[in-house]
Amino acid sequence: MFKNKNLSKNYIKYMKSKNIDCFIGYRPLHTSKFYLDNFKKMHLKNTEFCSDVVVRIPFHNYLTIREQKEIMKYSKIYLESI
């Protein structure tokens, strides 16, 4: 979770340059097409903020130790640069 959308977007871009796919992985349900088509529109400031700043890193059973270390290494480099 980053302080703002710009930092999260730059992190994703940086990680992509290292061949590590990260992405914004949270979409508030109240902004989905289904919700908007069937319920009253609402604005949830904190939820919407989180959807812009929460970044998902690769996380699955097939990650090797080497891949895990690379993710941590490049994440640390990025985080230390901001």
* Span 4-17, pLDDT tens digits: 999 999 999 999 99
Fold of 5-81: Aspartate Aminotransferase, domain 1 (3.90.1150)
pLDDT at site 25? 77
Return phi, psi of residue 26, to 5°: -130, 120
Q: Provide the pLDDT confidence category of residue 27 given band limits of 50, 70 and 90.
A: confident
- Global pTM value: 0.85
1, 6, 24 from 80: Cα distances, Å: 15, 16, 21
